[in-house]
Amino acid sequence: MKTRRGFFKIAFKGLTGVAFFFSPLYTLVQKGYAGAKKIVLPKNTRMESLLNKDPANLDTRNLEITPLAEFDTMGLSDFEIDPGNWRLRVEGEVDNPLELTYRDVMSLPSVEREVLLICPGYFALHGRWQGVDMHHLLKRAECRAKASRVSFSGPPGKLSKSEQFPIEEIDTGRVFVAYGVNGRELPQKHGFPLRLVAEDHYGYRWVKYVARMTVS
């Protein structure tokens, strides 16, 4: 009896360990451990030294803000949008699809984060981005229980590109759509009226001229 009882006790502990390994808590612990290993960049770090670095491995708390005049850009930079006719559509696995004007978007609860943007091999910049509180926006759209990801697409038409992110990452506040940078309206060449800010991701995932969010 003792041997059998001991066997079940050990087996239960093993199963408990396996369950923890696949649990959301383990994911959070794993992310926290990964965050703890980030390289803390000193205040005087030169942006040029970061061109081939992975932003997910960098702690940027000490970095100074890059002046907007020194911002570089890649990809589409001359797409013109009439803010009077533009709409942000939130659709897909939602019970309350949204179609928001530029004024509607500007009236939503906002967030502001200092985030490093790296286009590997080309440029790096550290901006103070202002934009939409995505948790509030998705709650307003009434995402369905089975929803797990959101795609951000822009600009409207044949030039559109999309990038998809897990809702749990968006809920952390590290992924959001921005309408301003360094205290100013987002310039056209940087994606006016909205561009995606994706902390810890390379710049090619920062979709410009965002016009649609699709929950899936």
Taking the C-alpha atoms of residue 29 and residue 137, their distance in angstroms, rounded to an integer, is 27
- Stretch 100-105: mean pLDDT: 98
Taking the C-alpha atoms of residue 77 and residue 195, their distance in angstroms, rounded to an integer, is 12
Neighbours of 143 (CB within 10 A): 20
Find, among 199, 191, 47, the residue nearest to 122 by Cα: 47
What are the distances in angstroms from CA 158 to CA 7, 79, 155, 161, 209?
Answer: 63, 12, 8, 9, 13
Taking the C-alpha atoms of residue 191 and residue 77, their distance in angstroms, rounded to an integer, is 7
Residue 49's contacts (CB-CB under 8 Å, 6 or more residues apart) are: none
State pLDDT tens for residues 128-170: 999 999 999 999 999 999 999 999 999 999 999 999 999 999 9
Taking the C-alpha atoms of residue 149 and residue 142, their distance in angstroms, rounded to an integer, is 14
State pLDDT tens for residues 15-73: 444 444 444 444 444 444 444 589 999 999 999 999 999 999 999 999 999 999 999 99
| Helices and strands (H, E) in the chain, number of each type | 5, 12
pTM of structure: 0.83
**Where residue 175 falls among pLDDT bands split at 50, 70, 90?**
very high
Give 11-69 as a DSSP string.
HHHHHHHHHHHTSHHHHHHHHHHHHHTPEEPPTT--GGGGTTS-GGGEE-TTPPPPPGG
